[in-house]
Amino acid sequence: MQGDAGKSRVEPELSGGEQSAASIGQADTKADRLFGPNPSGLDESPHGMMVLVIVGMIVGLLSGMFGIGGGTVIVPALVWLGLSQRHAAATSMLAIVPTSISGVISYAHNGNVDWVAAVLLFVGMFAGGQFGSWLLSRLPELVLRWVFVVFLVFVTVNQVIFTPSRDQRISMSVATGVGLVLLGVVIGTLAGLLGIGGGALAVPALSILFGASDLIARGTSLLAMFPNSITTSVANMKRKLVHIKAGLIIGVIAALTTPFGTWVAGAVSPRAGAIMFAAYLCVLLVRSFFVAVKATRAAHGSRA
Protein backbone atom coordinates (compact mmCIF):
# COMPACT_ATOMS: atom_id res chain seq x y z
CA MET A 1 0.00 0.00 0.00
CA GLN A 2 2.75 2.41 0.96
CA GLY A 3 4.64 1.55 -2.22
CA ASP A 4 1.56 2.33 -4.27
CA ALA A 5 1.05 5.61 -2.44
CA GLY A 6 4.66 6.59 -2.93
CA LYS A 7 4.45 5.67 -6.58
CA SER A 8 1.40 7.90 -7.05
CA ARG A 9 3.20 10.82 -5.37
CA VAL A 10 6.27 10.69 -7.60
CA GLU A 11 4.38 10.41 -10.89
CA PRO A 12 4.84 13.74 -12.77
CA GLU A 13 1.77 15.80 -13.57
CA LEU A 14 1.00 16.47 -17.22
CA SER A 15 2.04 19.88 -18.47
CA GLY A 16 -0.47 22.17 -20.17
CA GLY A 17 0.82 21.21 -23.62
CA GLU A 18 0.67 17.51 -22.82
CA GLN A 19 -2.86 17.89 -21.47
CA SER A 20 -3.89 19.71 -24.67
CA ALA A 21 -2.34 16.99 -26.79
CA ALA A 22 -4.15 14.36 -24.74
CA SER A 23 -7.44 16.22 -25.14
CA ILE A 24 -6.96 16.45 -28.91
CA GLY A 25 -6.14 12.76 -29.01
CA GLN A 26 -9.32 11.96 -27.08
CA ALA A 27 -11.35 14.17 -29.42
CA ASP A 28 -9.84 12.44 -32.44
CA THR A 29 -10.69 9.05 -30.91
CA LYS A 30 -14.31 10.10 -30.41
CA ALA A 31 -14.47 11.40 -33.98
CA ASP A 32 -13.01 8.12 -35.21
CA ARG A 33 -15.75 6.19 -33.40
CA LEU A 34 -18.44 8.38 -34.94
CA PHE A 35 -17.15 8.88 -38.48
CA GLY A 36 -14.21 6.51 -38.89
CA PRO A 37 -10.51 7.50 -39.04
CA ASN A 38 -9.37 10.60 -40.91
CA PRO A 39 -8.20 10.03 -44.50
CA SER A 40 -4.46 9.36 -44.64
CA GLY A 41 -1.83 11.39 -46.46
CA LEU A 42 -2.21 14.83 -44.88
CA ASP A 43 0.97 16.46 -43.58
CA GLU A 44 0.18 16.86 -39.87
CA SER A 45 3.63 18.16 -38.89
CA PRO A 46 3.93 21.63 -37.29
CA HIS A 47 4.63 22.97 -40.78
CA GLY A 48 1.44 21.37 -42.11
CA MET A 49 -0.63 22.74 -39.23
CA MET A 50 0.77 26.22 -39.84
CA VAL A 51 -0.23 25.98 -43.49
CA LEU A 52 -3.78 25.10 -42.43
CA VAL A 53 -3.90 28.18 -40.18
CA ILE A 54 -2.62 30.46 -42.97
CA VAL A 55 -5.12 28.95 -45.41
CA GLY A 56 -7.89 29.63 -42.90
CA MET A 57 -6.88 33.29 -42.60
CA ILE A 58 -6.83 33.73 -46.39
CA VAL A 59 -10.12 31.88 -46.84
CA GLY A 60 -11.86 34.06 -44.26
CA LEU A 61 -10.67 37.23 -45.95
CA LEU A 62 -11.76 36.06 -49.40
CA SER A 63 -15.08 34.75 -48.09
CA GLY A 64 -15.94 38.10 -46.58
CA MET A 65 -14.80 40.02 -49.66
CA PHE A 66 -16.46 37.91 -52.35
CA GLY A 67 -19.22 35.90 -50.64
CA ILE A 68 -17.56 32.57 -51.38
CA GLY A 69 -16.98 29.57 -49.14
CA GLY A 70 -13.30 29.38 -49.99
CA GLY A 71 -13.19 25.93 -51.56
CA THR A 72 -11.17 27.31 -54.47
CA VAL A 73 -8.35 27.92 -51.96
CA ILE A 74 -8.95 25.07 -49.54
CA VAL A 75 -9.02 22.23 -52.07
CA PRO A 76 -5.65 23.00 -53.77
CA ALA A 77 -4.04 23.64 -50.38
CA LEU A 78 -5.18 20.29 -48.97
CA VAL A 79 -4.06 18.48 -52.11
CA TRP A 80 -0.65 20.14 -51.75
CA LEU A 81 -0.52 18.93 -48.13
CA GLY A 82 -1.11 15.35 -49.24
CA LEU A 83 -4.85 14.64 -49.44
CA SER A 84 -6.40 13.27 -52.60
CA GLN A 85 -8.61 15.55 -54.67
CA ARG A 86 -11.63 13.59 -53.47
CA HIS A 87 -10.83 13.90 -49.75
CA ALA A 88 -9.75 17.54 -50.13
CA ALA A 89 -13.09 18.43 -51.73
CA ALA A 90 -15.04 16.70 -48.96
CA THR A 91 -12.94 18.29 -46.19
CA SER A 92 -13.38 21.70 -47.78
CA MET A 93 -17.16 21.50 -47.33
CA LEU A 94 -16.74 21.01 -43.58
CA ALA A 95 -14.45 24.06 -43.34
CA ILE A 96 -17.07 26.16 -45.13
CA VAL A 97 -19.63 25.67 -42.32
CA PRO A 98 -18.12 28.07 -39.72
CA THR A 99 -16.82 30.36 -42.47
CA SER A 100 -20.28 30.92 -43.93
CA ILE A 101 -21.84 31.48 -40.49
CA SER A 102 -19.39 34.29 -39.79
CA GLY A 103 -19.96 35.83 -43.21
CA VAL A 104 -23.76 35.77 -42.90
CA ILE A 105 -23.60 37.55 -39.55
CA SER A 106 -21.37 40.27 -41.00
CA TYR A 107 -23.49 40.87 -44.12
CA ALA A 108 -26.83 40.62 -42.28
CA HIS A 109 -25.66 43.27 -39.81
CA ASN A 110 -25.56 45.73 -42.71
CA GLY A 111 -28.86 44.55 -44.25
CA ASN A 112 -27.20 42.85 -47.23
CA VAL A 113 -28.99 39.47 -47.14
CA ASP A 114 -32.13 38.46 -49.09
CA TRP A 115 -33.56 35.83 -46.75
CA VAL A 116 -36.30 34.54 -49.08
CA ALA A 117 -33.92 34.14 -52.01
CA ALA A 118 -31.44 32.32 -49.76
CA VAL A 119 -34.09 29.81 -48.63
CA LEU A 120 -35.10 29.09 -52.24
CA LEU A 121 -31.47 28.67 -53.24
CA PHE A 122 -30.90 26.25 -50.39
CA VAL A 123 -33.88 24.09 -51.39
CA GLY A 124 -32.21 23.47 -54.73
CA MET A 125 -28.71 23.27 -53.25
CA PHE A 126 -29.80 20.57 -50.81
CA ALA A 127 -30.91 18.24 -53.59
CA GLY A 128 -27.94 19.09 -55.78
CA GLY A 129 -25.49 18.70 -52.90
CA GLN A 130 -26.56 15.12 -52.19
CA PHE A 131 -26.19 14.25 -55.86
CA GLY A 132 -22.77 15.92 -56.02
CA SER A 133 -21.60 14.05 -52.92
CA TRP A 134 -22.72 10.79 -54.53
CA LEU A 135 -20.78 11.63 -57.70
CA LEU A 136 -17.71 12.60 -55.64
CA SER A 137 -17.34 9.06 -54.30
CA ARG A 138 -17.60 7.55 -57.79
CA LEU A 139 -15.92 9.79 -60.37
CA PRO A 140 -12.22 9.20 -61.19
CA GLU A 141 -9.69 11.62 -59.65
CA LEU A 142 -8.63 12.93 -63.07
CA VAL A 143 -12.19 13.86 -64.00
CA LEU A 144 -12.54 15.89 -60.78
CA ARG A 145 -9.42 17.89 -61.59
CA TRP A 146 -10.66 18.86 -65.07
CA VAL A 147 -14.17 19.68 -63.83
CA PHE A 148 -12.51 22.06 -61.35
CA VAL A 149 -10.56 23.75 -64.18
CA VAL A 150 -13.69 24.19 -66.35
CA PHE A 151 -15.55 25.64 -63.37
CA LEU A 152 -12.80 28.22 -62.77
CA VAL A 153 -12.80 29.28 -66.45
CA PHE A 154 -16.54 29.90 -66.37
CA VAL A 155 -16.45 31.97 -63.19
CA THR A 156 -13.42 34.03 -64.23
CA VAL A 157 -14.99 35.02 -67.55
CA ASN A 158 -18.15 36.11 -65.76
CA GLN A 159 -16.21 38.33 -63.38
CA VAL A 160 -14.34 40.05 -66.23
CA ILE A 161 -17.35 40.87 -68.42
CA PHE A 162 -19.93 41.82 -65.79
CA THR A 163 -19.98 44.72 -63.31
CA PRO A 164 -22.74 44.44 -60.67
CA SER A 165 -24.72 47.34 -59.26
CA ARG A 166 -24.72 48.28 -55.59
CA ASP A 167 -28.27 49.64 -55.22
CA GLN A 168 -30.46 46.88 -56.73
CA ARG A 169 -32.46 44.14 -55.02
CA ILE A 170 -34.05 40.90 -56.21
CA SER A 171 -37.64 41.40 -57.40
CA MET A 172 -39.42 38.25 -56.24
CA SER A 173 -42.04 36.48 -58.41
CA VAL A 174 -43.08 32.89 -59.12
CA ALA A 175 -40.70 32.70 -62.08
CA THR A 176 -37.89 34.16 -59.98
CA GLY A 177 -38.55 31.63 -57.22
CA VAL A 178 -38.44 28.69 -59.64
CA GLY A 179 -35.28 30.08 -61.19
CA LEU A 180 -33.59 30.37 -57.80
CA VAL A 181 -34.43 26.74 -56.95
CA LEU A 182 -33.05 25.52 -60.30
CA LEU A 183 -29.92 27.62 -59.81
CA GLY A 184 -29.56 26.03 -56.39
CA VAL A 185 -29.65 22.53 -57.89
CA VAL A 186 -26.78 23.39 -60.24
CA ILE A 187 -24.77 25.08 -57.49
CA GLY A 188 -25.39 22.26 -55.01
CA THR A 189 -24.24 19.62 -57.47
CA LEU A 190 -21.00 21.51 -58.16
CA ALA A 191 -20.54 22.17 -54.44
CA GLY A 192 -20.81 18.51 -53.50
CA LEU A 193 -18.61 17.45 -56.40
CA LEU A 194 -15.83 20.05 -56.13
CA GLY A 195 -15.83 20.81 -52.41
CA ILE A 196 -16.75 24.46 -52.89
CA GLY A 197 -19.46 26.43 -51.16
CA GLY A 198 -20.87 27.52 -54.50
CA GLY A 199 -20.49 31.24 -53.90
CA ALA A 200 -18.20 31.71 -56.89
CA LEU A 201 -21.16 30.69 -59.06
CA ALA A 202 -24.03 31.98 -56.91
CA VAL A 203 -22.74 35.55 -56.54
CA PRO A 204 -22.40 36.39 -60.26
CA ALA A 205 -25.61 34.45 -61.07
CA LEU A 206 -27.65 36.37 -58.48
CA SER A 207 -26.42 39.66 -59.95
CA ILE A 208 -26.60 38.77 -63.66
CA LEU A 209 -29.81 36.70 -63.69
CA PHE A 210 -31.79 38.14 -60.77
CA GLY A 211 -30.59 41.75 -60.46
CA ALA A 212 -29.12 41.61 -56.96
CA SER A 213 -26.50 44.16 -55.91
CA ASP A 214 -22.98 42.84 -55.40
CA LEU A 215 -23.24 43.01 -51.59
CA ILE A 216 -26.71 41.41 -51.41
CA ALA A 217 -25.56 38.67 -53.79
CA ARG A 218 -22.62 37.90 -51.49
CA GLY A 219 -24.61 37.91 -48.27
CA THR A 220 -27.41 35.81 -49.77
CA SER A 221 -24.89 33.37 -51.21
CA LEU A 222 -23.26 32.83 -47.82
CA LEU A 223 -26.62 32.28 -46.11
CA ALA A 224 -27.71 29.67 -48.66
CA MET A 225 -24.27 28.07 -48.42
CA PHE A 226 -24.44 27.50 -44.67
CA PRO A 227 -27.12 24.77 -44.41
CA ASN A 228 -26.01 23.21 -47.70
CA SER A 229 -22.45 22.82 -46.45
CA ILE A 230 -23.78 21.07 -43.33
CA THR A 231 -25.95 18.57 -45.17
CA THR A 232 -23.24 17.83 -47.75
CA SER A 233 -20.61 17.43 -45.03
CA VAL A 234 -22.79 14.93 -43.18
CA ALA A 235 -23.16 12.91 -46.38
CA ASN A 236 -19.39 13.07 -46.97
CA MET A 237 -18.59 12.02 -43.39
CA LYS A 238 -20.89 9.01 -43.69
CA ARG A 239 -18.79 8.02 -46.71
CA LYS A 240 -15.60 8.60 -44.64
CA LEU A 241 -14.27 11.22 -47.06
CA VAL A 242 -13.63 14.06 -44.57
CA HIS A 243 -10.44 14.91 -42.66
CA ILE A 244 -12.27 16.40 -39.68
CA LYS A 245 -9.30 17.96 -37.90
CA ALA A 246 -8.10 19.83 -41.01
CA GLY A 247 -11.62 21.03 -41.84
CA LEU A 248 -12.21 22.41 -38.35
CA ILE A 249 -8.83 24.16 -38.14
CA ILE A 250 -9.36 25.97 -41.44
CA GLY A 251 -13.02 26.75 -40.74
CA VAL A 252 -12.56 28.20 -37.25
CA ILE A 253 -9.61 30.40 -38.29
CA ALA A 254 -11.53 31.56 -41.38
CA ALA A 255 -14.53 32.52 -39.25
CA LEU A 256 -12.31 34.92 -37.30
CA THR A 257 -11.03 36.79 -40.39
CA THR A 258 -14.26 36.87 -42.43
CA PRO A 259 -15.61 40.11 -40.83
CA PHE A 260 -12.54 42.00 -42.04
CA GLY A 261 -13.15 40.75 -45.59
CA THR A 262 -16.75 41.94 -45.34
CA TRP A 263 -15.54 45.40 -44.37
CA VAL A 264 -13.21 45.49 -47.40
CA ALA A 265 -16.09 44.46 -49.71
CA GLY A 266 -18.12 47.47 -48.63
CA ALA A 267 -15.16 49.84 -48.89
CA VAL A 268 -14.27 49.17 -52.56
CA SER A 269 -16.39 49.80 -55.66
CA PRO A 270 -18.29 46.93 -57.34
CA ARG A 271 -15.98 47.05 -60.38
CA ALA A 272 -12.85 46.99 -58.21
CA GLY A 273 -14.22 44.02 -56.31
CA ALA A 274 -14.97 42.13 -59.54
CA ILE A 275 -11.47 42.81 -60.90
CA MET A 276 -9.85 41.68 -57.65
CA PHE A 277 -11.87 38.46 -57.68
CA ALA A 278 -11.07 37.80 -61.35
CA ALA A 279 -7.34 38.34 -60.72
CA TYR A 280 -7.39 35.86 -57.86
CA LEU A 281 -9.27 33.29 -59.96
CA CYS A 282 -6.80 33.67 -62.85
CA VAL A 283 -3.89 32.76 -60.59
CA LEU A 284 -5.78 29.76 -59.27
CA LEU A 285 -6.86 28.75 -62.79
CA VAL A 286 -3.30 28.68 -64.12
CA ARG A 287 -2.14 26.53 -61.23
CA SER A 288 -5.10 24.13 -61.44
CA PHE A 289 -4.67 23.79 -65.22
CA PHE A 290 -1.03 22.74 -64.96
CA VAL A 291 -1.83 20.32 -62.14
CA ALA A 292 -4.58 18.74 -64.27
CA VAL A 293 -2.25 18.49 -67.29
CA LYS A 294 0.43 16.86 -65.14
CA ALA A 295 -2.10 14.36 -63.74
CA THR A 296 -3.34 13.57 -67.27
CA ARG A 297 0.18 12.86 -68.52
CA ALA A 298 0.87 10.66 -65.52
CA ALA A 299 -2.34 8.70 -66.14
CA HIS A 300 -1.49 8.20 -69.82
CA GLY A 301 2.05 7.18 -68.90
CA SER A 302 0.82 4.51 -66.50
CA ARG A 303 -1.39 3.01 -69.22
CA ALA A 304 1.45 2.84 -71.74
Question: How high is the pLDDT of residue 162?
Answer: 74
Q: Name which of 30, 27, 55, 47 is nearest 252 in CA terms.
A: 55
Residue 167 — φ and ψ, nearest 5°?
-120, 20
Spatial contact of 193 and 144, defined as CB atoms under 8 Å apart: yes
> Which residues have a Cβ under 8 Å from the Cβ of 194 and sit 6 or more positions away?
71, 75, 89, 132, 144, 147, 148, 151
Question: How high is the pLDDT of residue 18?
Answer: 42
Domain boundaries, the chain: 46-297
What is the pTM (predicted TM-score) of this model?
0.70
Give residue 42's region: left, alpha or beta (phi > 0; psi -120 to 50).
beta
Question: How high is the pLDDT of residue 21?
Answer: 39
Q: What single string gives the DSSP state of each residue in 85-126?
A: HHHHHHHHHHHHHHHHHHHHHHHHHTT---HHHHHHHHHHHH
pLDDT in tens, the chain (304 residues): 444 444 444 444 444 444 433 444 454 554 454 455 677 678 888 998 999 999 999 999 988 998 888 887 898 899 899 988 889 988 998 999 999 899 999 999 989 999 999 999 989 988 887 787 777 777 776 777 787 788 778 878 877 887 777 778 898 999 999 999 999 988 888 777 766 667 777 888 898 889 898 899 989 988 988 887 888 888 888 888 899 999 999 999 999 999 999 999 889 888 888 888 788 778 878 877 887 888 888 878 777 6
| DSSP state letter for 39 | P
